[in-house]
Amino acid sequence: MDLAAFSYQKFVQFALEEIQPRTTLSPRPFQENLKDLRAKDGNATLHTLSFKAPKIRHLRSLSIEGSPAMQVLDFAAFPEPKFDIPIFCANFFTTSALSIIVLDLNPLYDVTLQSDYKEKFYRGLMPLYQKYAELLPWGDKITSESLRFFSPIVIWSKFSLSPEKHDVLYAAFKDYFKAWLVLMELAVEAVDELQTVCNCEAQHKYLTWRAGKDPGHLLLKRLIGENLAREMIRHFLFEGVDSLGTKSFLDYFPEYHCEDGSINQKRSIIGKAYKTRPWDAGGEFIGSKST
Ligand code: BLA
């Protein structure tokens, strides 16, 4: 597919139009130097948007329109910690040869361990994933480190983009975002202060993981340079990583500890991967790892 005619902008447009009647979005100020950027190669452009709302701590979007043919969307919505709603996550990396797709309502709590959280948010949403199971099939091996941040409805897929696939992905994005909006609208504030503390830590753990290990970092560094990429990651994409909690990457993920005290550069330490979808149609975890 010719990527020149293709863009993720309409995904972002849809999300903003859909959310506006449902809450009050206000722009969230962020560093001037992270606003719309041009990559060092002079070709790719980066577009950023950032908002907050009463139940949403941070709704932000980074889209990259690149050359040679590359399109990226990293769109996420992080709830206020008083609400235990999942994190909306649309993460699409597309070149003319391959698209790598993660679309999910990322759980705050590991659903393989906390079945109450899974029941609360995902049981009713299983038909949503089933709608796309065949059209956007499991994208082969995914590390167990990433999997623990995914829900039973995750769309994890890899394919070479065609106009048909693009339409399916757009439909899936719309459905998933609408489903997330319903959860957001229904959410009631935690009455228990301890619940808020737990939600806050869970979100901080997620931000710490992605600020430390997101697979896009290398390319981002290549596009805008090491320093700006670091600022983009910590002050924009995963903003909150330095303020929502005080634990460090190694506090949450001690298995990455190197003898000299540094963080192991590898993305996966456990070295296990899920080659097939590890949940059944009802959302039960059925495992089946491969190394
Ligand atoms: C690849 N991005 C990936 C992969 C995943 C994700 C699973 C496949 C490689 C892997 O399994 O590690 C996304 N991983 C996630 C998400 C979570 C997670 C969303 O654990 C959530 C918990 N991606 C971006 C941006 C860029 C980008 C901004 O968000 C580029 C600027 C690129 N993603 C990107 C690239 C790859 C990738 C280049 C392939 C790189 C590789 O596999 O090493």
pLDDT band at 202, cuts 50/70/90? Answer: very high
| Residue whose CA is at the smallest distance from ligand 1 atom 27 | 216
Residue 222 within any structural domain of the chain: no
Which ligand 1 atom lies nearest to the CA of residue 146?
20
Residue 31 within any structural domain of the chain: yes
74 lines ligand 1 (CB under 6 A): yes
Structural domain boundaries enclosing 51:
3-191+271-290
Which ligand 1 atom lies nearest to the CA of residue 150?
22
Domain count, the chain: 1
Say what the pLDDT of residue 5 is: 67
Say what the pLDDT of residue 289 is: 63
Say what the pLDDT of residue 70 is: 92
pLDDT band at 19, cuts 50/70/90? Answer: very high
224 lines ligand 1 (CB under 6 A): no
Rounded to the nearest whole angstrom, what is the distance from the C-alpha of residue 216 to the centroid of ligand 1? 5
Asked if the model's pLDDT at residue 93 lies above 70, the reply is yes
Residue 128 within any structural domain of the chain: yes
Average pLDDT value for the chain: 94
| Residue whose CA is at the smallest distance from ligand 1 atom 6 | 215
Say what the pLDDT of residue 88 is: 98
Q: Are 234 and 53 in contact (CB under 8 A)?
A: no
* Highest mean pLDDT: which range of 1-5, 196-200, 268-272: 196-200
Asked if the model's pLDDT at residue 217 lies above 90, the reply is yes
H helix intervals, 187-289: 193-213, 217-224, 226-231, 249-252
Residue 65 within any structural domain of the chain: yes
62 lines ligand 1 (CB under 6 A): yes
Residue 57 within any structural domain of the chain: yes
Radius of gyration of the chain (CA): 18
Which ligand 1 atom lies nearest to the CA of residue 104?
19
Rounded to the nearest whole angstrom, what is the distance from the C-alpha of residue 217 to the centroid of ligand 1? 8
Say what the pLDDT of residue 287 is: 81
Residue 218 within any structural domain of the chain: no
The position carrying tokens 């769309």 is: 155
Residue 134 within any structural domain of the chain: yes
Which ligand 1 atom lies nearest to the CA of residue 213?
20
Query: What's the average model confidence in pLDDT over 258-278?
Result: 92
pLDDT band at 41, cuts 50/70/90? Answer: confident
What is d(CA 172, CA 168) in angstroms, rounded to the nearest whole number? Answer: 6
Q: pTM here?
A: 0.97
Quote the strand ranges of the chain, DSSP E. 26-27, 37-38, 45-53, 56-66, 70-79, 87-95, 99-106, 142-143, 155-159, 273-274
Asked if the model's pLDDT at residue 3 lies above 90, the reply is no
Residue 243 within any structural domain of the chain: no
Rounded to the nearest whole angstrom, what is the distance from the C-alpha of residue 122 to the centroid of ligand 1? 24
Instruction: For residue 34, give the CATH number of its domain.
Output: 3.40.1500.20
| Residue whose CA is at the smallest distance from ligand 1 atom 30 | 216
221 lines ligand 1 (CB under 6 A): no
pLDDT band at 204, cuts 50/70/90? Answer: very high
List the one residue out of 277, 267, 272, 278 whose CA is nearest residue 290: 272
- Most informative mutation of 8, 219, 237 for ligand 1 (most atoms within 8 A of CB): 219
Determine the length of the chain: 291
